[in-house]
Amino acid sequence: MTLRTELENWEVEEIRDIKGLEFSVALKFATENYRHRKDVYIFPLASETKENEIWQVGNNEFVIFNNPELCHILISDNGIQTLFRTPAIRPGSIFGNNGKKFFLFEDSSYTTHIYSVSDRDELLNLVREIIDPAANVSIEDAPHSLIILVELHGLSHRFPLDLLLENESNLECGLGADFIYKAQTRCREFKIAEYYEKCGGYYIGNSSVAVQGIFTENDGQYEFHPDDFFKNVAIGKLLAANNLVPGLPADACPFFRKGVDDEDYFIDLSNEVLIIEDKKNAKTCGLEMYGERCVGVMRTGENEFLALTEPPSSGRFVDSPTRLRRFVRNTAGKFLWDVDSYGLNSRAVVRPDRCQLDDDTIVFTTEQDYNVYSSFEMWSISKNRLAGPIDGFDAIKKATKEPYVSHTERQIMVKYRNHPQWKALPMIVVRIYAPREYCDIFALIDPRKKYRVYGKVYNMLADSMVEGPKTAHGLVKMFENNRGLKLKYSL
């Protein structure tokens, strides 16, 4: 590896003979972040040539010659973005001043080309200014030309770079009036939805009534879907009647912002690709993170690990939801993400600062967000498996004779209202209902006490709290009585 310019605020290291990935050579870029910790980014190289040349052309920009390829990359909180990539057999040097940087190189036919580092970035900024500053504008490879990709809020479009350069004096013409109108309309819709979300309510159509819910993008339109009664109404009534409030675990994840360094392995936190040093066998292995970055690793077995990963653009706040994942080393020596359907769910997320129930148990959810209203599951670090999962309540199934009776459950975390400083406790809220019928009862189940019914039960038919039965069998019997009343006194 040869550095053609002095590095400012960056360290670059060449890593070779990486096992388990589609590439065996990579560059490791490291810099100190605002937390005075090291951010690490891994950039795969296309060939195993012995001589790689690197130029730093901006605060976070590098040009890399990896024969027979020339790349221009940008490193940011969004990871590594390839701005320019082209075949090249002989790199030249950077020249220019006043911020205008040009790069000279030759292709396989020995034709000399000049690549403008700064002008290309200016073009991308002009595209953002026309559409919206929030638009993600990037350059990607195509078989015969370079393509500008514009992405925003579920909308994307590709433009040949040559077409935009031909219309650089009138970029609106190159982008097309229809696309600009559609993109700007989409941005306005998204900003309105985001505004009402922050306000805690939404106005639908011409209605002046604020309601709770979420906006969902569907085929270019934003649709409103109200929150279900079970999650947002019944649970709140149950907790209030039983002198409980929603809560979260008090402790942080024990391996957040920590790597692994023991007698067998060294794993440093990084972006894009996890580099794993096998000390005993003197091998360097890799694990793809598919655009995410690792913010925590813990060894849980001989060849088993837990990891926290997140999209590169997040993570500025300690309470941001982060993916909880498990990876293992197989008998062939390759590291893989564990996707066993009986293991840790691939959609598991945690909040690193509030997810540790006790020394061994991590609380996670498979919902998009992680908050006091989520439905939780628990993972045992020492046992490497789910801890106390919802069993489906066999007692309810056995006590249910008729096929129209169903049930659903949510595992939640609660605290006693008068003692908010107490540690959160797991509870299971169960709903027994008849599909398509307005006939439900809701109850809290205490998993610590052999799944006994906790406190009062909510009777939806009477819209009131009642002193409930103590067993799941009693819940089903109570439901049957309610259904009999409904048939006798129709609503």
pLDDT in tens, 221-258: 544 443 456 776 788 889 999 999 999 998 999 999 99
Higher pLDDT, 40 or 463: 40
Under 8 Å between Cβ of 88 and 70 = yes
Distance, in Å, from the CA atom of 245 to the CA atom of 108, rounded to the nearest integer, reads 69
In total, the chain counts a number of residues equal to 491
Supply 39's token pair: 């951010």
Under 8 Å between Cβ of 276 and 265 = yes
491 pLDDT band, cuts 50/70/90, is: very low
Distance, in Å, from the CA atom of 460 to the CA atom of 466, rounded to the nearest integer, reads 10
Query: Does residue 201 surpass a pLDDT of 60?
Result: no
Per mean pLDDT, which range of 164-173, 267-276, 299-308 is the poorest? 164-173
Distance, in Å, from the CA atom of 126 to the CA atom of 22, rounded to the nearest integer, reads 36
Higher pLDDT, 96 or 320: 320
Confidence (pTM):
0.69
341 pLDDT band, cuts 50/70/90, is: low
213 pLDDT band, cuts 50/70/90, is: very low
Distance, in Å, from the CA atom of 223 to the CA atom of 211, rounded to the nearest integer, reads 14
Please write the tens of the pLDDT for every residue from 452-469. 889 999 887 777 888 878
Give the residue-averaged pLDDT of 419-423.
74
Give the residue-averaged pLDDT of 259-287.
94
pLDDT (0 to 100) of residue 207: 41
Number of other residues whose CB lies within 10 A of the CB of residue 479: 24
51 pLDDT band, cuts 50/70/90, is: confident
The HSE-up count of residue 365 (CA atoms within 13 Å, CB side) is: 22
Give the residue-averaged pLDDT of 12-34.
89
Number of other residues whose CB lies within 10 A of the CB of residue 239: 21
pLDDT (0 to 100) of residue 211: 39
Give the DSSP letter string of 242-301: TTEEE---SBPPTTBT--EESSSEEE---EEEEEEEETTTTEEEEEEEEEEEEEEEEE-S
The distance from CA 412 to its chain's CA centroid, rounded to whole angstroms, is 22
pLDDT (0 to 100) of residue 422: 77
Strands 283-299 and 18-19: parallel
Give the residue-averaged pLDDT of 388-395.
62
Q: What does the DSSP 8-state code read for residue 230?
A: I
Own/partner pairs for 79-82, CB < 8 Å, 24+ apart? 79/41, 79/271, 79/272, 79/291, 79/293, 79/312, 80/29, 80/41, 80/42, 80/43, 80/271, 80/272, 81/138, 82/139, 82/140, 82/141
Element (DSSP H or E) covering residue 85: strand 79-87
Distance, in Å, from the CA atom of 390 to the CA atom of 116, rounded to the nearest integer, reads 59
Per mean pLDDT, which range of 55-59, 104-108, 422-426 is the poorest? 104-108
Distance, in Å, from the CA atom of 134 to the CA atom of 150, rounded to the nearest integer, reads 10
365 pLDDT band, cuts 50/70/90, is: very high
pLDDT, mean over the chain: 79
Under 8 Å between Cβ of 330 and 285 = no
Phi/psi of residue 396, nearest 5 degrees: -70, -40
Supply 227's token pair: 């929150």
Higher pLDDT, 307 or 344: 307
pLDDT (0 to 100) of residue 11: 93
Distance, in Å, from the CA atom of 80 to the CA atom of 91, rounded to the nearest integer, reads 22
Give the residue-averaged pLDDT of 394-423.
74
